[in-house]
Amino acid sequence: MLHTIQRIPAAKIQSGYSRSTIYLRIAQGLWTKPVSLGPRAVGWPSSEIAALNAARISGKSDTQIRELVESLHTKRKLLAEAWGL
């Protein structure tokens, strides 16, 4: 499985949100936390952006999206464990 990470410009385009809205959504629990790529760089797995977009498109409630965000964070941890990280 290919895991690509999208920086903020790509995340903005794919989601339709502005930078400030993405960070507001993170604070609200409606968007996943960014992955650190270095001291001054972050991004998001493209699969997470796609999952969040699909949830919005399908009309999921904010509560359901918060549950999805928690699930995506859990999957990150499991992926790291599977890779022995």
pLDDT in tens, 10-32: 999 999 999 999 999 999 999 99
Rounded Cα distance, 65 and 4, in Å: 22
Looking at the domain that runs over 5-82, which CATH code has it been given?
1.10.1660
pLDDT in tens, 36-68: 999 999 999 999 999 999 999 999 999 999 999
pLDDT of residue 30: 99
pTM for this one? Answer: 0.90
On whether the CB atoms of residues 6 and 43 are closer than 8 A, the answer is yes
pLDDT of residue 2: 66
pLDDT of residue 80: 82
On whether the CB atoms of residues 32 and 79 are closer than 8 A, the answer is no
Mean pLDDT of 61-76: 97
